Amino acid sequence: MFALSRLLGRSWVARFSSAALLAATFAFAGCYKEAGKPNPQEAAALRPEAGHAEEGPHQGSLIELGKEEYHAELVHDDAAHKVTIYLLDGAAQKPVGSADKELVVNLVVAGKPQQFKLPAAPQDGDAAGQASRFEVVDEAFCEALDAEKTTGRVNVTIAGKTFSGDVAHSGHDHDHGHKH
């Protein structure tokens, strides 16, 4: 470079070097992809469709199980003090059975852990020894679900694989007597 700068003059070499460095930077930036993060086109393809359901077929809150392999739909009826969890397929449309005899929901309410159990309540169409519905009548459970900043997890085994999903307060005002 030194000999070239003497031959052509320093300013030309400096401009050439700067231009080459700038071009290399843009070329590298265009190819660079942070590990584990999709490029914008890949990210758009991974986004759920605009019509992705947030409410299940029973008008309950959907809980993602796995990477949308399955869903749990949580419905609670404050008037009847009843909490029901339905197990659904990845599209949150069709019932899916579990051999679990009960579902355990672990919540944190006002900083205090609470645990609630929902016994299996098989419905018509469930295979023998399987249940796609779990329910319990428990006023304290309904109140815990209605409490501000409630968080928790539900665990279930489907087709021999254990799944876990987040349960959280829905963030809207509750009018006792309606279903969620």
pLDDT tens-digit series, residues 53-82: 678 899 999 999 999 899 999 998 999 999
pTM comes to 0.67
Domain at 61-168, CATH class = mainly beta
DSSP state letter for 54? S
Residues 6+ apart with CB under 8 A from 78: 142, 146, 174, 176, 177, 178, 180
Strands 70-77, 112-119: pairing kind: unpaired
pLDDT at 54: 74
The CB density around residue 168, as the number of other CB atoms within 10 Å, is 15
Cβ atoms of 54 and 68 closer than 8 Å: no
Query: In the chain, what are the domain boundaries?
Result: 2-35+37-46, 61-168
Banded pLDDT at 178 (limits 50, 70, 90)? very low
b (16+ CB within 10 A) / e for 43-72? eeeeeeeeeeeeebeeebbbbbbeeeebbb
For 5-40, what is each residue's pLDDT tens digit? 444 455 544 444 444 433 443 333 343 333 444 433
Take residue 17 and report the two structure tokens written for it. Answer: 């070097």
Tokens matching residue 94: 């069709």
